[in-house]
Homo-oligomer: A and B are copies of this chain.
């Protein structure tokens, strides 16, 4: 079955790069440096529905996204989450958090409306993240 990105993810993000398993997307919300990894597997909702090999690939790509965000943004903490209560397609958030960011120390999910990047800013952070991800793994 061909893979189709959920329309809500397509609307709220821009693609940064494609990793071996996942599309790496940037959430268009300048409040938080925020990647979303979406395994290119159709009709998978939960981590345990992936094959063991895909699960290992997923955790390695989570580590790569974490390292890229850490190098670029020096966060106080990474937050990693697979929720999917609203968008059921399996996707993993990897978010750089800083003490004093608008949701700290609470979660980013449900923390209010996104603040979209300006066009030039979005292009810059997307390019930096693509380069940083390419240096990992």
Contacts and interface: CB of A to CB of B under 8 A. Distances in A.
Contacts of A47: 59, 62-63, 66, 78, 80
Most chain-B CB neighbours within 10 Å: which of A60, A82, A86, A97? A82
Majority SS at the chain A contact face:
mixed
Most chain-B CB neighbours within 10 Å: which of A55, A59, A77? A59
B78 A85 contact: no
Contacts of A85: 77, 79, 97, 104-106
Nearest to A53: B56
A48 interface: yes
Nearest to A66: B48
A19 to B, nearest CB: 14
A110 interface: yes
A52 B46 contact: no
Contact of A63 (B48, B62, B78): B48
Interface of A: 45-48, 50, 52, 55-56, 58-60, 62-64, 66-67, 70, 77-86, 88, 97, 104-107, 109-110
